Amino acid sequence: MEPPTAEAVLQGVFTLYNDPNNVEKEKASKWLEEFQKSIHSWKIADELLRQKHDLNSCTFAAQTMRNKIQNSFHELPESAHESLRQSLLEHLSHITIETKSVIVTQLSLALADLALLMSSWQKPVATLLQRFSSNANMMYALIELLTLIPEEVNSRHLRLGANRRKEILIDLEADSTLVSEYLTVCLVNGNENELLRSKILKCFTSWVQINAFKLPEISDSMIIVYCFQLLSSGTTSPDLHEAATDSLCSLLHCMELNNSRGGLDEKLFGGIMCLEEAYNMSVAQEDLDKSMNLCRLFTVLVESNLTRMVALSDDETPHYSVKSLDLVLNCVGHYDYEVAEITFNMWYRLSEDLYQRNNYQLTAHFKPYVERLIAALYKHSQLDPDHDGLVEEGGSFKDFRSKVSEIIKDVIFIVSSISCFKQMFVVLQSPNVSWESSEAALFIMQNVARNILPEESEVVPKVVEAILNLPENCHIAIRYTSISILGELCDWIDSNPETLQPVLNFLLFALQQKNGLASAAANSLQLICSTCKKHMVGHISGLMEIARCLDSFDIQSESAIGLLKGISIIIGRLPPAQLTPAMQELCSFQVEALSRLANGDDDGLDGKKSRSDPAFWLDRLASIYRHVSPTVRNNEVNPCAFVIVNNWNVLSRALERYKNDSKIMERIVRCIRYAIRCIGKQAMPILEPLVKQIITIYSGHNHSCLLYLGSILVDEFAYEEGCTQGLLNMLQAFIEPTFGVLQMENGLKNHPDMVDDFFRLATRFIQRAPLQFLQSPLVTPIIQCGLLACTLDHREANISVMRFFCSLLRHDRANDLEPMVQSILASHGEALIMNLLYASVFCLHSNMLSDVAEVFVEIKQHSPHQLEEHVKKAVDSLPKKNSGGSVTVTHEQMVQFVTNVVNSQTARATTQALQDFARLYR
C-alpha cells in the first residue's frame, strides 16, 4: 500500500467508530487492517500516541503498537530497538489516573513484549521499578507492566525460544525480591482501594506462576497473610476473593511442581484447612461465587498433595493430608451441583493413581471417601419433585449427569460395582421413597450395571423383576432409566438367558411408547443384540417385525440406526440361506426410499422433512452394511454379495444426483465403503463402473471423500490380477484436479481433507502394489506435493503425509524395491529432511512431531550417514538469532541435536530430540 498519513489513519478510525454507513465502516475496517500489516504503521502509531487526538485513535494506536511488536518485530532493525523502547517509556510516563484502562493495557503489553524480545535491554524489571516506582500516578501502570511481563514469557506469539526464555526467567528470579517488596509497599500504602489491591494480588500470582519467587523467602509474605484474611472474611468483594483464591492456588501448584515441602507448605495446608468455616458461611449466605472459589482452593490443595497422599499412606495409616478430602466432600455436598463439578478432575486423578498401584489395602483407605462421593452424587442427580418429563436434552443438568456417569465409572472400582448397586437398591426399597429418589438411585445403578458379574444372583434378579413389573402410573423418568438399565445389564442377561424373553417383551412394549421411551428401548435392544448374539438368533422373526415397523416408532434417528445395527448383527449369524433374504428385506426399506429420492420423487415418504433427506436413508443402509458381518471361508460365496451388488444401481444413481452436495456425497461414499468392506473381492462386478463414475464426478466436483473411497478400492482390489493398472489409472485421473486445487494460494491450508485423503490413497498403493507404484511416473509429482505438505499444521492431514513417506521408505532392505527407495532418497532425501525440520521448528504443534520422527527413523534405517549429512545441512540453514537479537541456537546445541537424531534408537527418542530443538525457536 502507498505510505499513508496520520490524518488518513485518523479519518479511518473516525469512520470505523462513528460513520452510520455500514459499507463505509467495513471499508475503513479493511483499510486499517491492511495499514496495521504495513511497515509504515510503526511510525504513525507512535505519532498518534503523541497527538492524543481522542480515545479511539489512542486505543487503535496502542493496539497497533502491541500487534506490531508481537507479530512483526522482525521488520525493525536492531538499531531501531532503543528508540522504540524510549518512545514507549515516554508514552507510559504520560499516563494519569484518567487514562483509560484499555490504553494502559495495550501500551503495557507492547512494552512488556519489547522487554522480552529486546535482548540488549538488560534488567528491564529493575529499570521500570527504578524509573516509575516513586511516581504515585504510575502505580497502576507499573503493576500492570509487572503483571504482564511474566505472563508474556510463554506467549506463543513472541517465539522467544528456550535460550532467551531461560535467560529471562533467571533475570526475573533475580528481580523477584524487588517486585515482592514493591507489591508489599503498594499493599500497605494503597489505602482501601479494592481495584489496586486486586491488581497487586494478580501481579503476585503471575510471578508465582512462572516460579520466580524462592518459596522459603515468601513464606512470611504479607500478601499471603492478606489472602487468608480476605478468604476468612464474609465481607470480601467478589473480585478480591477470586484474586486471593488464584494466588493461593498458584502457590499450591508451584509447590507441587517443585516438590517443595517446608514452612510454607505447612502454613498453606494449615491455613486452608481453617477455611472450612468461611466455606460454611458462604453456603449460609448463598454466595455461590465464594463457595466455588473455596471449593477450587480445597480441590487444588488435595491435587497438590495427591502424589504424597497415595504414596506415603501405608497399610495401617493414611497420610495426614487425606483429611483434606473431607473439605472437598463438604463442597461436593453443596446445594448447587456446579460446585461439586469443580472436584471431578481431582477424583479422576486419585482413581488413576490408585488403579495403577493396584494395592487393595491402600485403596481401602479411600473407600469411605468415595462412598460419600457417590452418595452426594446420587442426591445431586435427583430431578425436581415437580418435574414432569425426562431430563432436558442439551440442558446443563443433562450435561452434569453425563459427567457424573463418567466419574462414577472412573472411581467405582474403589468401592466395587455390586456394593454400589446394593447400596442404591436399599434406597429403592426404603418405605415411602419419593419418585425422584428412586430415579436417581436407578441412574447410579445404570452406570455400574455393566460391571456386575454374571453370576450375581442376590440383587440383580430382584432389580430386573421390579423393572419388569413397574406400575403403569410410575413417573416417566423412572421408566426411562429402568429401560436403560436393562441395556446396561446385557452381559448379565447373556449369562442368565431365562430373563431374555420377558426383557424383550418389556422393551418391545416400550418401543411403542412416546416421549423418549422408544429411543431408550431401541438403545437397550441394540446392546442386548450386540451382547446376547447366540440367544437372539432365535428371535430373528421378532426383530424383522420391529424393522418393518421401524418408522412407526417415536425414536430418534440415531437410536433407529443403533437398532438396525443390533438387528444386522443377529442377521450376520444366520445360515446363508436365511441371511440373504433377511438382509435383502432389511435393506429394502431403506433402498426403496433412497431410490425414489434419487429419481426425484419423494412421495410416499410420510411427508416428514427428515424422510426426504437422503442422508436419513443412507445412514441406515450404511449401518446394515457395516454390521451384517457373516463368517465366510475362502472360496465361499458371501451371502451378502447378492444384496449389495443388487442395490448398487440405486447408490450409483444417488452419486449422480447428489454430486453437487458434498455432505450427501460423504454419506454415499461411507455407505459404499461399508458395502465393499462387507463383501471384499466379491464386489468385483461393481468395481469398474464405480471407478469410472467417481473419476468423472471428481473431475468436476473435487469431493475429497472420493479420494478416500479410492483408497478403499486399492486396499481391497490392488492384489487382484488385472486390477492394479486400472487403479493406477484412477490415481492418475485424480492427480490433475487434486493438484489444481492444492496449488492455489493457501490451497494446502484451505483443503486439509483433500491432503489427508489423497495421501491416504497414495499410501494404500505403496502398501498394496509397491512395485507398480514405484515404477509409475506418478511417484515423483506425489513426492513433490508431499514435500510441500510437510508444513501443513493440520493433525489428520499431516499424519497422512508422514505415513506416506514412512510407507515409501519402509521396505525390507533385501528385496527388489531397495534400489528404487535409494534412488528416491538420493533425489529427494535432502529436501525431505530440510522441510521436515523447518516444519518441526516453525509450523507444527509439538504433539505432531512423533509422526515426523517416524520418517527420520525410516531414513536412518536406509542410511545413517545420509541422515547425518542432511540433518547437518538442514540445521545450518536455520536462523541462529531471533528478531530481538538474542541467540536462538548455539553451535553446541546444533551439534547435540544432530548427535541425538543420528544416535536415537527409537522414534520416541527422536521425537524428544525434535521437541527439545523446536523449543529453541518457540
pLDDT digits 0-9 by tens, 812-867: 655 778 889 899 999 999 999 999 999 999 999 999 999 999 999 999 998 899 99
| Alpha carbons 344 and 363: distance in angstroms, whole number | 18
Q: Which residue shows C-alpha cell 486452608? A: 272
Contact (CB, 8 A) for 758 and 804: no
**31 falls within a domain:** no
| Alpha carbons 422 and 425: distance in angstroms, whole number | 5
- Which residue, 381, 402, 427, sits at the end of a domain? 381
Q: Are residues 258 and 304 in the same domain?
A: yes
| Alpha carbons 21 and 28: distance in angstroms, whole number | 11
**883 falls within a domain:** no
**736 falls within a domain:** no
Q: Are residues 525 and 617 in the same domain?
A: no
Q: Are residues 227 and 372 in the same domain?
A: yes
**161 falls within a domain:** no
Question: Which domain covers residue 578, as residue numbers?
Answer: 574-701
Q: Are residues 446 and 545 in the same domain?
A: yes
What is the pLDDT at residue 496? 95
pLDDT digits 0-9 by tens, 76-112: 999 999 999 999 999 998 888 788 889 999 999 999 9
Q: Are residues 223 and 371 in the same domain?
A: yes
| Alpha carbons 240 and 226: distance in angstroms, whole number | 10
In 34-43, which positions are buried (b, 16+ CB within 10 angstroms) versus exposed (e)?
Answer: ebbebebbbe
What is the pLDDT at residue 846? 94
Q: Are residues 547 and 582 in the same domain?
A: no
Q: Are residues 309 and 423 in the same domain?
A: no
Q: What CATH code is carried by the domain that includes residue 663? A: 1.25.10
Q: Are residues 353 and 272 in the same domain?
A: yes
What number of residues does the chain have?
Answer: 922
- The domain total for the chain is 3
- Which residue, 524, 555, 586, sits at the end of a domain? 555
Q: Are residues 537 and 584 in the same domain?
A: no
- Which residue, 381, 398, 433, sits at the end of a domain? 381
- The whole-angstrom distance between residue 63's C-alpha and the CA centroid of its chain comes to 31
| Alpha carbons 224 and 324: distance in angstroms, whole number | 20
What's the pTM value of the predicted model, to 2 decimals? 0.90
Q: Are residues 356 and 439 in the same domain?
A: no
Nearest to 229 by CA among 203, 202, 204, 247: 247
Parts of the chain with a pLDDT under 50: none
Q: Are residues 334 and 232 in the same domain?
A: yes
Contact (CB, 8 A) for 579 and 571: yes
Q: Are residues 306 and 431 in the same domain?
A: no
The three grid cell numbers given for residue 547, joined into one nine-digit string: 424393522
What is the pLDDT at residue 580? 97
**724 falls within a domain:** no
**666 falls within a domain:** yes
The three grid cell numbers given for residue 352, joined into one nine-digit string: 488413576
**103 falls within a domain:** no
**835 falls within a domain:** no
Amino acid at 254: C
Indicate the DSSP class of residue 2. Answer: P
